[in-house]
Amino acid sequence: MAEEEKGAKKKKSFKAYKKRKTCPKCGAGIHLAEHENRLSCGKCGYMEMKKD
């Protein structure tokens, strides 16, 4: 039997933003995820609109 080659591993590259905000609900250590026009916390679901 032929073994299936799993060479296509998708690597998720996280962009390191220096201005990442922390979640006001979760506190320091939990950063908000950057979206196109908003920031959101993946832990508690907090969302914040970008003002730029």
Contacts with Zn ion, residue ranges (CB under 5 A): 23, 25-26, 41, 43-44, 46
Give residue 1's Cα distance to chain centre: 40
CA–CA distance, 24 with 51 (Å, rounded to integer): 17
Single-letter amino acid code for the residue at 26: C
What does the DSSP 8-state code read for residue 36?
S
